[in-house]
Amino acid sequence: MKFFVDTADIDAIRELNDLGMVDGVTTNPSLILKSGRAIAEVTAEICAMVEGPVSAEVVAEKADDMIAEGRHLAKIAPNVCIKVPLTWDGLKACRVLSDEGHKLNVTLCFSPAQAILAAKAGATFISPFIGRLDDIHLDGMDLIADIREIYDNYGYETEILAASIRSVNHIVDAAKIGADVITAPPSVIKSMANHVLTDKGLAQFNADWAQTGQKIL
């Protein structure tokens, strides 16, 4: 499973990237706002640090405008992945930009039907939003499973990028279903290391070690 980091926070990306845990990065207009930086500047900095695809999202609503914005974003670095919304115009932009050889991440996917269209429009990644479905009391993980089944039925090469991840369980469940990629905030990725029995076991080892009176160094 590939790990993308869902942030435009350079320091947070660097910490995970230095551990070899970053296969890519996703940003969106809200994350750019949170960074407080210009999209071109922060995207260029992330692209220079990370080898894998770095999603940068268009904000236009009409296909022609999305295409122009996408071409502009793609000039920032060779590993920019153009992110377009799953609207009819977004699918048109996806087809054109994909045919030009760009990587495309089709975002804001909330149904299997939308995911089929994205695959047929040449998307490199489809981003189903798990957390936002859970927020309205639907099961986001069912969507991941449905898309996995459909894509496997037909051999679609579009990768399933499980997005809007809010918990470690989301990541584990997406992995069990066979999502190709997850994108999660750095805090969620780091919290995968936590376990209460690890903490308890370490406390016991430290207490016992203190009683030995020994030192390793």
Binding segment for ligand E4P (CB under 6 A), chosen from 13-21, 127-135, 167-175, 208-216, is 127-135
Binding segment for ligand E4P (CB under 6 A), chosen from 15-23, 65-73, 114-122, 129-137, is 129-137
User: Whose Cβ is closer to ligand E4P: residue 192's or residue 202's?
Assistant: 192
Contact string (CB under 6 A) for ligand E4P, positions 167-206, x = contact? ----------------x-----------------------
* Token couple for 138: 């639907």
When binding is defined by CB under 6 A, the residue of 7, 17, 79, 107 that contacts ligand E4P is 107
Give the dihedral sign, CA 79/80/85/88.
negative
Catalytic residue among 2, 34, 83, 190: 83
Cα dist from 180 to 32, 148, 162, 210, whole Å: 25, 9, 8, 45
Phi and psi based region of residue 114 (left: phi greater than 0; alpha: psi -120 to 50; beta: remaining): alpha
Name the H helices within the chain. 10-18, 29-35, 39-49, 63-74, 88-99, 112-120, 130-135, 140-154, 168-177, 186-191, 196-212
Report the chain's terminal Cα–Cα distance, integer Å: 38
Which positions from 19 through 78 interact with ligand E4P, judged by CB under 6 A?
Answer: 26, 28
User: Whose Cβ is closer to ligand E4P: residue 117's or residue 161's?
Assistant: 161
User: Whose Cβ is closer to ligand E4P: residue 97's or residue 174's?
Assistant: 174
In the residue annotation, 83 being an active-site residue is answered as yes
Interaction between residue 158 and ligand E4P (CB under 6 A): no
Distance CA 68, CA 91 (A): 14
Minimum Å gap between C-beta 206 and ligand E4P is 37
Q: Are 128 and 162 in contact (CB under 8 A)?
A: yes
Query: What DSSP character marks residue 215?
Result: -
Binding segment for ligand E4P (CB under 6 A), chosen from 44-52, 62-70, 128-136, 145-153, is 128-136
Q: Are 8 and 42 in contact (CB under 8 A)?
A: yes
Residues that bind ligand E4P (CB under 6 A): 6, 26, 28, 107, 127, 129, 131-132, 163-164, 183
Which residues does the annotation mark as catalytic? 83
